[in-house]
Structure 1
Amino acid sequence: SLKWLTDRRIIALLSCFFIMQFAHGAYNAFFSIFLVEQGHSKSTVGWLWAIAVIAEIFIFLLMPRLFKKFSINDFFLFCFFVAAVRFFLVYVGYESLWILVVAQIMHAITFGMFHVAGIAATNKLFIGEYRSRGQALYSSVGFGAGGASGTLVSGLVWESFGGAATFGMSAVTSLLGVVLMLWVRRHFKD
């Protein structure tokens, strides 16, 4: 059944996945290249990636406790806000190692927390035999369509406006996610 195609909650959720992964397109494809072009060493870039992964592990450990205090929609709204700040920091502060460290720690929120909330939301809306469909949609719409589109557009922005502009675009895209989540919170209960 294609009934889910008309469910506004599911459309909003899939839009949420698409927007966040679109916003990460520049980061996933060009972050390392951009930083090396700005004069950061490859080993520094490697350490920045390691910091992001370590921060992500900590948020995965904290999420069960956080779910007792906050709703899925709270997580999504917070994640989009942090993503906007994170990508803005890269846009304006790419020369500062300390700003980049802070931005990489925010990966715990923009990827780790978002992913856990995304799985929880998917499991809530796609019940029983439809759970696998929900997971497939989460991956294909978010990581597939959103990630690919974000990477493609980031490349075009890079060619026209330079590397930093791609992260400015990511920040603006994340703000679209904030607007979407404010709308979702107004129209749907968690």
Structure 2
Amino acid sequence: MPWVSIPLKGHRMQNGEITTRSQMVFGFGYFALYFALGLEIVIATPILQTLGIGAGEAGTLWAGRSLLSVLGPVVWGYYADKTQKGPRMLQVSFFGAALCHLCMWQLQGHAVGLALFFILLGFFISGSVVLVDGLLLKSLGNAHHRYGQIRLFGGLGFGLGAFWASQTELALVSEFVQSFFFASFGTYFAGTLAVFFLPAMALLPREQNILRSVARLCGSLPVLCLLIMIIAQWASHGLYTGFLAVAASKNGISLAFVGYAVVAAIVAETLCLFASARLLAVKARVMPVLFLILAVTIFRWLFSASVTEPWRFVWTQGLHGITFGLFHAWAVLQFAKIFPAQLRQTAQGWLLGAGYGLGGALGMGISGRLLENASVASAWQAMAAFAAVALVAGTLFSLLQRNTPSKEKALV
């Protein structure tokens, strides 16, 4: 039996669909990538503030990086499908992220240079995310619903990195800035080396006109509603992604409990990603799962607006497993069904770029300004408003799909 594979009722696994070695490489790649991101989500904003950058300015930097991440995944995905050199491009993106951390280490005393490389880092990270996702989906063949079973190693890496950063109170250690940059460099460099062990992949027929095919698919009304829903859903995570430690501190919650909250989120995310293979393998469950996700998201942010007790804060963030982990697996499955196999990485580029890139820019930009000029409760309520927009767009998407003749449906 292949590593971490679960035979699903009614699904016949094909021999060689994805090798054990491929799964190990992808698992390590996800772990390395998200371990570095876990360090960053807890400590990057406090470091920027230590260097004299306020919450509003930090929000602008995060928003600028997210805006660059709108274009980045689309470019990486397009050229990966066009050249069919996804593994080599994945190495370039990993190594570029590693070099950005070295440059930031050298430019700690230069605010402009530090800001430029902080934003540029988003371009390389977005490339790593879109390429590892696209290559994994190619390797899975038609078993797209198994994506979450391997992607969960990213969640484990993220949780370990975030927990380590928060529990050691590294923000209070003068040497931490150097340690952070070197640890991140080493992690991304390890990811670069791991790709060498990825087995060669079969070449697919080239799409003659990638841009025209993408425009035709994304121009349909159901897919536009899907993109709006993804943008709004990820925008609603802007405060959590960029300012969780800052928001907690303003409510009197220590950095240690931020670490516990991240661990709760990652444990839940891991379980949800693991369960997604079974939940999303059955057609009748797909839309009910979506509405559950969106409803829980609204509840999560509204409840967060009133939480000041540390342990309530911890379990509330545990809902991240549903609002992001299960949602991400759901969204990946839909895009894998919309786009043909030869556009697999382009599809992930649109999901991560147009969806998460633009959504992240909106969410982090607005939440940073609200933290600086209003209150923590107002910022959480703004996140709930984004989630409500996602619910409306998701409802329209569901209705449009239901009213589309079955032979013309792009999705489930």
TM-score tier by shorter-chain length is over 0.9
In structure 2, C-alpha distance between the alignment counterparts of 1:181 and 1:166, rounded to whole Å:
23
Letter in 1 for 2:296: V
* Aligned residue type for 1:185: S
Please say if residues 89 and 99 of structure 1, whose CA atoms lie closer than 8 Å, have aligned partners that are also in contact.
Answer: no
1:158 maps to what in 2? 371
**Structure-2 residue corresponding to 1:78:** 292
Tell me the equivalent position of 1:171. Answer: 384
The 5 A counterparts of 1:32-43 are 32-43=245-256
Q: Partners of 2:306 and 2:250 in 1: how far apart?
A: 15
| Residue matched to 1:45 | 258
Q: Percent identity?
A: 23
Structure 1: how far apart are the matches of 2:356 and 2:272?
20
Alpha-carbon deviation of 1:170? 0.5
Answer whether contact 2:264 2:314 (CA < 8 A) is retained.
yes
Pick aligned residue for 2:346 from 133, 155, 161: 133
* Residues 257, 314 of structure 2: 8 Å contact kept: no
Map 1:6-155; keep pairs closer than 5 Å. 6-69=219-282, 70-93=284-307, 95-155=308-368
User: What is the count of residue pairs matched by the alignment?
Assistant: 189
CA drift of 1:158 comes to 2.2
Residue 380 of structure 2 aligns to a residue whose secondary structure is helix
Tell me if the contact between 1:89 and 1:100 (Cα under 8 Å) persists in the aligned partners. Answer: no
1:86 touches 1:106 (CA, 8 Å); kept in 2?
yes
Moved more, 75-84 or 105-114: 75-84
Larger Rg belongs to: 2
Aligned amino acid, residue 344 of structure 2:
R
Aligned residue runs from structure 1 range 175-186, under 5 A:
175-186=388-399
Higher helix share: 1
TM-score between the two structures when normalised by the length of structure 2: 0.44
Query: 8 Å contact 2:305–2:380 — kept in the other structure?
Result: yes
Contact in 1 for aligned 2:232/2:359 (Cα 8 Å): yes
The amino acid that maps onto 1:48 is A
Q: 1:123 to 1:50 in 2, by over 3 A?
A: same
Structure 1 stretches of 4+ with a deviation exceeding 6 A read none
Contact persistence 1:79–1:114 (CA under 8 A): yes
Contact 1:73 1:181 in 2 (8 A): no
**C-alpha displacement at 1:112, in angstroms?**
0.4
8 A Cα contact 2:245 2:258, kept in partner: yes
Q: RMSD in angstroms over aligned alpha carbons? A: 1.6
Corresponding residue SS for 1:180: helix
Q: 1:187 to 1:5 in 2, by over 3 A?
A: closer
Greater relative CO, 1 or 2 (CA 8 Å, sep 6+): 1
**Aligned residues of 2:217 and 2:338 also touching (Cα < 8 A):** no
Q: Say which SS state the counterpart of residue 270 (structure 2) adopts.
A: helix
TM-score by length of 1: 0.92
* Structure 1 residues 37-73: Cα deviation after superposition (integer angstroms, max 9, x where no partner): 2211211111111111111111111111212455433
8 Å CA contact 1:72–1:120 kept in 2: the answer is no
Q: Deviations over 1:57-115 (max 9, x none)?
A: 1111111121245543333222111110001111112x123432331121010110001
Quick check: 2:226–2:394 contact (8 Å CA) kept in 1? no
Maintained 8 Å contact 2:222/2:400: no
Following superposition, the deviation at residue 142 of structure 1 comes to 2.1
